[in-house]
Amino acid sequence: MITEPTTKSISVVIIAKNEADNMERVLKSVIWADEILVADSGSTDATARIAEDLGAHVLHLDWEGFGRTKHKAVMAAKYDWILSIDADEEVSEELKNKIMELKPALKEQNAYKIKRISWYLNRKIRWCGWQNDFPLRLFNRRTAGFNDKVVHESVKTKAKISLITEPIYHYTYPTLSDHLRKINFYTTLNVEEKYRKGRKYTLTGAILQGMWKFIAMYFLKQGFQDGKTGFLLCRNSAIGQYLKYLKLWEKRQHDRTP
């Protein structure tokens, strides 16, 4: 149930599944919030228990893809003003202070993109295109909300968007195995969505997509300045791009099989 608008209260909304290793860090970084809502989608580890022990309200939701699951979590929050963060993220002290400074002036017609600083293989990434990462994360749900994309979801709004440079910290893949496992998971989700929409791709197209991804990240977005870690990030991201379209091509080939 949507409450009356307020400029005094913010709900932090986090979706999680088997994020026990990340829960304490992210929750302690938002302990200042007026509400912390963790939407758990079937964790089999201690995610829910840790969240409850640290004062979060745990909501159990069926998994419907990132966009729809986040939308349901946002609509279940107590307050209209939402700070949406992921379990592998952390609100910096500077960002906390900035949000507290903004609270008295928050208006329904405003929304905020927040600078995100990311780590890969436990090393801070300064280039690769990640230096321009400003996801929209602070918004009023009356004028903004998540789309229904299964993966690579985003917040859509007609509100006036402002930038906050005080950062969210994002701890992506601590190991190569983590990244490769997520590549397989995300590409499968992405293919299902594209397939339903009738998208088609050739094998050559898949190869070219992967090549272009590497060129764009490593050269045009200066990933080479991040050294070996930057190379691995660009290369593995290119593999992910290639696999996404390769899987779509493979699925279309199965359609042709008698």
Q: Does 107 share its domain with 190? A: no
How confident is the model over 128-182, as pLDDT tens digits? 999 999 999 999 999 999 999 999 999 999 999 999 999 999 999 999 999 999 9
pLDDT, average across residues 215-229:
98
Q: Does 161 share its domain with 188? A: no
Q: Which two tokens stand for residue 82?
A: 């939402």
The answer to the question of residue 135 being in a domain is: yes
- Which domain does 236 fall in, by range? 176-256
Q: Does 14 share its domain with 101? A: yes
Instruction: Please identify, among 171, 191, 217, the residue that sits at the C-terminal boundary of a domain.
Output: 171
Q: What is the pLDDT of residue 95?
A: 98
pLDDT of 255 > 70? The answer is yes
If one counts every other C-beta atom within 10 angstroms of the C-beta of residue 16, the result is 25
Query: Which of 23, 21, 14, 5 lies closest to 41, judged by CA?
Result: 14
pLDDT grade for 192, boundaries at 50, 70 and 90? confident
How confident is the model over 198-220, as pLDDT tens digits? 888 899 999 999 999 999 999 99
Q: What is the pLDDT of residue 197?
A: 85
Q: Does 223 share its domain with 95? A: no
Instruction: Please identify, among 141, 171, 201, the residue that sits at the C-terminal boundary of a domain.
Output: 171
Q: Does 126 share its domain with 235? A: no
Q: What is the pLDDT of residue 7?
A: 53
Q: What is the pLDDT of residue 5?
A: 47
How confident is the model over 101-119, as pLDDT tens digits? 999 999 999 999 999 999 9
Q: What is the pLDDT of residue 257?
A: 60
Q: Does 86 share its domain with 67? A: yes
Q: Which two tokens stand for residue 230?
A: 């930057």
The answer to the question of residue 5 being in a domain is: no
pTM of the model: 0.94
For 181-225, give the secondary structure using H, E and C. HHHHHHHHHHHHHHHHCCCCCCHHHHHHHHHHHHHHHHHHCCHHH
Q: Does 113 share its domain with 186? A: no
Q: Does 28 share its domain with 140? A: yes
**Sign of the Cα pseudo-torsion (92, 60, 156, 210, in order):** positive
Residue 206 CA to residue 236 CA, distance in Å, equals 15
pLDDT, average across residues 124-129:
98
Instruction: Please identify, among 115, 136, 171, the residue that sits at the C-terminal boundary of a domain.
Output: 171
Domains held by the chain: number: 2
pLDDT of 241 > 90? The answer is yes
The answer to the question of residue 2 being in a domain is: no
